[in-house]
Amino acid sequence: MSWNQWDMLNQEIIKCRRCPRLVEYREYIARKKTRRYMNWSYWGKPVPGYGDRNARLLIVGLAPAAHGANRTGRMFTGDSSGDWLFKALYMTGFANQAVSKSRDDGLYVKDVYITAIVRCVPPKNLPRSEEIRNCRIYLKRELELLENVKVILCLGHLSWRNTLETLYEMGLIPTKKLGFRHGAEYRIGGLTLIASYHPSRQNTQTRRLTWDMWASIFYRIKNILSKHEGFN
């Protein structure tokens, strides 16, 4: 792993304009803003991954939220999904604090890297197939650089399906046909793949995803990694 390779990748992501619809939408949101964040200077660009580059846990989400990561410039930072994610990471020792509101809020994560299958906020939170394909190269390159990953947690069906596609294309798994359900777990070679419902308001407010369901995923991951030397 080269720090220069990481920096080059992240700069390439930030400058990406491959998907005209997403470029237009992310920049529109950044100009229009929303009332409660009217004084913010929105990020309004593709959002690179964030975290420990020696991580053994990789978390793959869907895309930046319009007034979350598209505003703050850091994955899952500043929205309700991030509230659930960082609380769980803090509770299980992967983060130094339970809340993340901005890029300079002092958050530090250990042994986890957080990314998404799409790096720009999509209209109605629904990226098109070609937009996901355009972004796949970035997930591939992150996986190449994340040499120590043992567990991959995918949040939501789209993330699950497209992460499997990526791993299959890279020759890291022999099949991409692994069923999605909350808590599904597959051990393939040196990887453990885990599926979870996304902690979006649509899921948490309807209690399709409860806190206990969500927290249990992270305790399970901690248990898996505890079997590998070096996890405290």
Q: Does residue 232 lie in a domain region?
A: no
Cross-strand pairs, 229: none
- What number of helices (H) and strands (E) belong to the chain? 8, 6
As a whole number of angstroms, the distance between CA 108 and CA 165 comes to 30
Region 70-96: mean pLDDT is 98
What is the structure's pLDDT at 86? 98
As a whole number of angstroms, the distance between CA 157 and CA 159 comes to 5
Report which of 222, 9, 52, 50 is spatially closest to residue 148, judged by C-alpha positions.
52
Stated pTM of the model: 0.96
Q: Does residue 231 lie in a domain region?
A: no
Find the helix or strand (DSSP H, E) in which 79 lies. Answer: none
Mean pLDDT of the chain: 96
The percent of residues in the chain predicted with pLDDT above 70, rounded, is: 98
Region 100-104: mean pLDDT is 95
151 lies in which domain range? 3-226
b/e sequence 93-129, b meaning 16+ C-beta within 10 Å: ebbeeeebeeeeeebebbbbbbbbbbbbbbeebebee
Q: What is the CATH number of the domain that holds 140?
A: 3.40.470.10
Q: Does residue 38 lie in a domain region?
A: yes
What is the structure's pLDDT at 229? 58
Q: Does residue 164 lie in a domain region?
A: yes
Count up the domains in the chain and report the number.
Answer: 1
**Hey, what are 8's tokens?**
């080059």
Q: Does residue 172 lie in a domain region?
A: yes
As a whole number of angstroms, the distance between CA 13 and CA 25 comes to 17
What is the structure's pLDDT at 3? 73
What is the structure's pLDDT at 102? 96
Report which of 4, 116, 137, 127 is spatially closest to residue 51, judged by C-alpha positions.
116
Find the helix or strand (DSSP H, E) in which 151 lies. Answer: strand 151-155
What confidence category does residue 1 fall into, taking pLDDT thresholds of 50, 70 and 90? low
What confidence category does residue 228 fall into, taking pLDDT thresholds of 50, 70 and 90? confident
Q: Does residue 54 lie in a domain region?
A: yes
pLDDT tens, 6-58?
A: 999 999 999 999 999 999 999 999 999 999 999 999 999 999 999 999 999 99
As a whole number of angstroms, the distance between CA 201 and CA 141 comes to 30
What confidence category does residue 232 fall into, taking pLDDT thresholds of 50, 70 and 90? very low
